[in-house]
Structure 1
């Protein structure tokens, strides 16, 4: 009995009912099922009987080091990346449909591993509370502070790129890939507008939340968007139709307004983060050096102040 207690207190202790119960509670519903066709909802409906059966199964796998052969097989569903040649395999992303029971098993093992390990706070992407947009924000803020203190001029032709494509050229690539649907007169205008907001506009707005956009750059994005909306409605500039008509017909707001809303939303996200988070630390960082002569370039925090004054808002209201 004493040896069994010592064995259960070590790192490879037996899986308990509470561990299975907690992992089962965190599993989502309505997910695609694997080859065994056993949904996670089945185990949830079984209640405590299902918890006991799963605990016995997981401990048996943990002890013998063998899992069911059916868990080793999965269904791969190719999803188009919305870019590149549709006949090229590299233009697709493979999504595996695994058994829900093995996902439950992996969640239990992952929980145990995370108790013993610690991921650096500088890890972004695939991390809870650490998106890649935070990494972009940190780099841009460091560049702004360094250039302001060391007298480096900011190039007026600087552009944000997405996979080596300039903004809004990334949006144009998305639009060209789906223009067969967007320019088809058989589809209703509202449906085209919804598709545009979901599939095309995110490519144009990527990274603009932490971007102190210039007026010239904002005009370029507005011109690009209005050309897209006009062609979606089957009109050109020669028809002399106002831009407001296109936006009302498709149910689309101005892209400049969306940039401002996204920037303020991101500002609220930054303020809600912990003071020890890198995205907050960089705001209080002081860069050594002497500020150069002349008017400093527009920084992100100054752009936020302009947005707040224009909309008559306070920082507490955005948070």
Structure 2
């Protein structure tokens, strides 16, 4: 995949990674370009067992192995889970929260203005690309708790014994979990309307070939879509 000056190689084994890296290096250097030895990263996705790194070199430089990879605002995990990704998004939202510290909890600001601040600054940080997530109950719970905590701080009643339903009515905002399910259903409809040769349609309809371990199968994105549909 290509994006601006970034290149991502997605292959099945170490040999293809090494050969692809050398091929790109030779092609770029023929045009006077150079691959950064510092910013180049390598992530091994081993979903079937424990993490085991394999050495990849660029000339004499060993490419470091990372358990996570950040690309276009998303955090990709080598184990295919979402726990660190959810924590990363929540931390990003609190970073934005600190940037507007002077206005976020000011009692002189109306709920209507605070609602606009929340929808325009805090909510997009979490919702960006959220429709492609295969969320578990614990992931949704973490997002819900972080949202409730932030809203109670904005209303100045974090320590008061007031039910969460009261704040939803005051600020008239859609809960992040409900927004997540709505965006996921919309994205599903967007993919379904594509022609059969489109890459998104192929990925949605493809069947995984290989050995499946014992126990309950992992939750898929389509399982989330079915659960979101009332």
TM-score normalized by the length of structure 2: 0.63
Residue aligning to 1:159: 84
Q: Is 1:204 the equivalent of 2:126?
A: yes
1:57-77 Cα deviation digits (max 9, x unpaired): xxxxxxxxxxxxxxxxxxxxx
- Deviation for aligned residue 1:224: 0.8
Q: Secondary structure at the match of 1:259?
A: helix
**Residue-pair matches, total:** 163
Q: Does the C-alpha gap of structure 1 residues 276 and 156 become closer, same or farther in structure 2, counting only changes over 3 Å?
A: closer
Residue aligning to 1:128: none
- Deviation for aligned residue 1:192: 0.7
Residue aligning to 1:181: 103
- Deviation for aligned residue 1:267: 0.8
* In structure 2, C-alpha distance between the alignment counterparts of 1:152 and 1:281, rounded to whole Å: 27
Q: In the TM superposition, what are the counterparts of 1:1-319 in structure 2 within 5 Å?
A: 151-152=48-49, 158-160=83-85, 166-236=88-158, 238-308=159-229, 311=230
- Deviation for aligned residue 1:256: 1.0
Q: Any conservation in 1 of the 2:82–2:135 contact (CA below 8 Å)?
A: no
CA RMSD between the two structures: 2.6
Segments of structure 2 that go 5 or more residues without pairing to the other structure are 9-44, 51-78
* In structure 2, C-alpha distance between the alignment counterparts of 1:124 and 1:305, rounded to whole Å: 32
* In structure 1, C-alpha distance between the alignment counterparts of 2:113 and 2:202, rounded to whole Å: 43
Q: Does the C-alpha gap of structure 1 residues 156 and 275 become closer, same or farther in structure 2, counting only changes over 3 Å?
A: closer
Q: Which has the higher contact order (CA 8 A, sep 6+)?
A: 1
- Deviation for aligned residue 1:273: 2.1
* In structure 1, C-alpha distance between the alignment counterparts of 2:219 and 2:195, rounded to whole Å: 26
Q: Secondary structure at the match of 1:167?
A: helix
Q: Any conservation in 2 of the 1:263–1:304 contact (CA below 8 Å)?
A: yes
Q: Any conservation in 1 of the 2:131–2:180 contact (CA below 8 Å)?
A: yes
Q: Does the C-alpha gap of structure 1 residues 188 and 221 become closer, same or farther in structure 2, counting only changes over 3 Å?
A: same
TM-score normalized by the length of structure 1: 0.47
1:245-282 Cα deviation digits (max 9, x unpaired): 11111111211111111111111111122322211121
* In structure 2, C-alpha distance between the alignment counterparts of 1:157 and 1:268, rounded to whole Å: 23
* In structure 1, C-alpha distance between the alignment counterparts of 2:188 and 2:225, rounded to whole Å: 8
* In structure 1, C-alpha distance between the alignment counterparts of 2:172 and 2:116, rounded to whole Å: 8
1:65-120 Cα deviation digits (max 9, x unpaired): xxxxxxxxxxxxxxxxxxxxxxxxxxxxxxxxxxxxxxxxxxxxxxxxxxxxxxxx
